[in-house]
Structure 1
């Protein structure tokens, strides 16, 4: 009796999926490296690749040293880490709640960060690191509020997920109104600074912000990896996850905590860069033909932020703003809004049986 046939038939698709996953990841890593180098080397002041490596080795090149080491390089590093954090946060929420709308920038967490930052700027005159700290505190407080309100009455997992999303959308609307009110009470200079921050920008990136964000990722990335097995179980539903040995409530709380901290850290570093968390996981799924992957989602997030920032800082200013760099969130918002509309229209058609 030959038992090799079914095993081979089962193993072949798995091997193809793994091979495709490795190829996609390698392609995304190459894209991240290419965009990183483009952001550092290209612009109004061109830097050659040999000069870049000389600068990394400690050489001093008049003009290039400051432009690269104090401006472009920290900007690119913060951009990569911001994209990774947003991509992971969005993937965790969307996979765990089984809903493409379950993204930090849709369910209110980014709005919590925005409200905290704007309140600090308008009411207390905060700037720099104090604004980032207020943004992180605002995101954490709003996430806690959303979690508590959506879990007051336990019910089926699908209902709990929908309740969390709806609660988050409601909180986002309230916080958006609060931000608008605060801006009307601010002086012109403070309101202008707040609006730049609200669009999401890498213009103020520096090595201090990069160090803080790197420290956060050093803690949160291993935590996300440790919880990835539980996430795969929760993607199939709470009952299936429990059958696979996942302790549902602690795993869900841990995943929510990690995702919120990732989104809060990224928002504190670069502001609420629109739609990066929202777009990363769906693009990763499309590249992997339907499978979810935290690593690929993180790489997609990095690609989105680096590509959008290169367009905002280098390409578009030549045509639109007479050399003034745009906030990166302007470009990501222009990319994400059509996708959100398409998603809503598609969901409406499915709901009608179309």
Structure 2
């Protein structure tokens, strides 16, 4: 039965009164639908979401890193022209240009890009797992753990025997892994909590720095000088062996992190959502934390514990991209750009050549204060 008088309560289904609903005029446009990210599917297995803003940020940061990389090769006590650099890179430069480019500046410039990208990805993973913007490998003690084993190697004659040149990546990785496992085990009891992770990381970080101080007090003055220069974070006098070792470790860990990016996005949504999507939280966190530790250890072995790059880069990237959590690949591009630019400033623009760690600390310290003030303001509301 169809009636136009209203809803009829009969034994059958209710009938909607069409007379009480005026027709929509033709000149009135329907309400706009919210714009969603564009999705692309490749076959029946792989699908991605196209977000223009993160892609633009990644491209701009990568271009900036490449510009700083080229400027680092050209600029110095003996400036080189673009033609001289190109001729040297293709093997047609003179002996002096070849020595300056291939032996002095090119390894340092490459190390800055690799270390910056590795630290930024490590910081993005740690901040995403802990749901805390203050978390980073240097604050949680992972970088200090790698520093303990590295300083032990430096203060026990490793530099004199040549072990530092080939064994530094492995021993720094061992120290970072031990420290990362210790922090994770202590923080994961009773469920992962961001604030507990930070507090335990700060305590472990203080313990590792105490061990470093104890070893330096007992070491010879020459060994102390080498260790102190390394602890500040410096890219000076990098060799191709160090570049290759750091690059291989960073590439392996970065591939693991990118493959686990879907699981990381699920973890960022919370434990309940991740479990609803079928993500094994314990296994996923362990794999991601190992990748973050390897990235941090590779960076520390190549350039020392450079401060605040792993902390600042993901937060800057998150604000530039407008996302709710730090993305991995854009963070890597921003980190490479940040460290390459800081090394260029430390080497060429300041009156005195300084280790790059001093420049990054000068930038990262005020940014940390800004984040602390902003979190206090939010919590007081």
The partner residue of 1:308 within 333, 342, 355 is 342
The answer to whether the Cα contact below 8 Å between 1:88 and 1:262 also exists between their aligned partners in 2 is: yes
- Structure 2 residue aligned with 1:352: 380
Distance in 1 (CA, whole Å) between partners of 2:122 and 2:30 is 41
2:76 is equivalent to residue 57 of structure 1: no
Distance in 2 (CA, whole Å) between partners of 1:167 and 1:107 is 7
The partner residue of 1:10 within 35, 43, 58 is 35
SS of the aligned residue for 2:377 comes to: helix
The answer to whether the Cα contact below 8 Å between 1:241 and 1:248 also exists between their aligned partners in 2 is: yes
Per-residue deviation, 1:14: 8.8
Q: Select between 339-348 and 83-92 the one with higher mean Cα deviation.
A: 339-348
2:78 is equivalent to residue 45 of structure 1: yes
Q: 1:8 to 1:258 in 2, by over 3 A?
A: same
SS of the aligned residue for 1:11 comes to: coil
Q: Which runs of 5+ in 2 are unaligned?
A: 1-23, 41-48
Distance in 2 (CA, whole Å) between partners of 1:147 and 1:187 is 35
- Structure 2 residue aligned with 1:297: 331
TM-score (norm 1): 0.90
2:103 is equivalent to residue 67 of structure 1: no
**What is the RMSD computed on CA atoms of the aligned residues?**
2.3
- Structure 2 residue aligned with 1:154: 190
Per-residue deviation, 1:172: 0.4
The partner residue of 1:183 within 213, 216, 219 is 216
Q: 1:248 to 1:82 in 2, by over 3 A?
A: same
Per-residue deviation, 1:117: 1.2
Per-residue deviation, 1:49: 1.4
Distance in 1 (CA, whole Å) between partners of 2:73 and 2:335 is 19
Q: 1:253 to 1:7 in 2, by over 3 A?
A: farther
2:285 is equivalent to residue 252 of structure 1: yes
The answer to whether the Cα contact below 8 Å between 2:165 and 2:242 also exists between their aligned partners in 1 is: no
Q: Select between 340-349 and 301-310 the one with higher mean Cα deviation.
A: 340-349
Per-residue deviation, 1:133: 3.2
Distance in 1 (CA, whole Å) between partners of 2:302 and 2:291 is 17
The partner residue of 2:130 within 84, 97, 103 is 97
SS of the aligned residue for 2:56 comes to: helix
The partner residue of 2:115 within 63, 69, 82 is 82
The answer to whether the Cα contact below 8 Å between 1:309 and 1:328 also exists between their aligned partners in 2 is: yes
Deviations 1:24-58 (A, max 9, x none): 11111110111001100112211111221211111
Q: 1:287 to 1:171 in 2, by over 3 A?
A: same
Deviations 1:198-236 (A, max 9, x none): 011111311111111221133222211111001111111
Report the structure, 1 or 2, having the larger helix content: 1
Segments of 4+ moved more than 4 angstroms? 4-8, 12-17
Distance in 1 (CA, whole Å) between partners of 2:227 and 2:208 is 15
Distance in 2 (CA, whole Å) between partners of 1:93 and 1:277 is 9
Per-residue deviation, 1:306: 0.3
- Structure 2 residue aligned with 1:31: 64
Matches within 5 A, 1:218-237: 218-237=251-270
Q: Select between 121-130 and 11-20 the one with higher mean Cα deviation.
A: 11-20
Q: 1:350 to 1:17 in 2, by over 3 A?
A: farther
Deviations 1:294-316 (A, max 9, x none): 11100111011101100111111
Residue correspondences, number: 342
Per-residue deviation, 1:12: 6.8
Q: 1:6 to 1:245 in 2, by over 3 A?
A: farther
SS of the aligned residue for 1:47 comes to: coil
The partner residue of 1:128 within 143, 155, 165 is 165
Distance in 2 (CA, whole Å) between partners of 1:166 and 1:6 is 49
Deviations 1:139-159 (A, max 9, x none): 1111111122223x323x4x3
Matches within 5 A, 1:200-215: 200-215=233-248
Distance in 2 (CA, whole Å) between partners of 1:12 and 1:226 is 21
2:279 is equivalent to residue 279 of structure 1: no
The answer to whether the Cα contact below 8 Å between 1:121 and 1:131 also exists between their aligned partners in 2 is: no
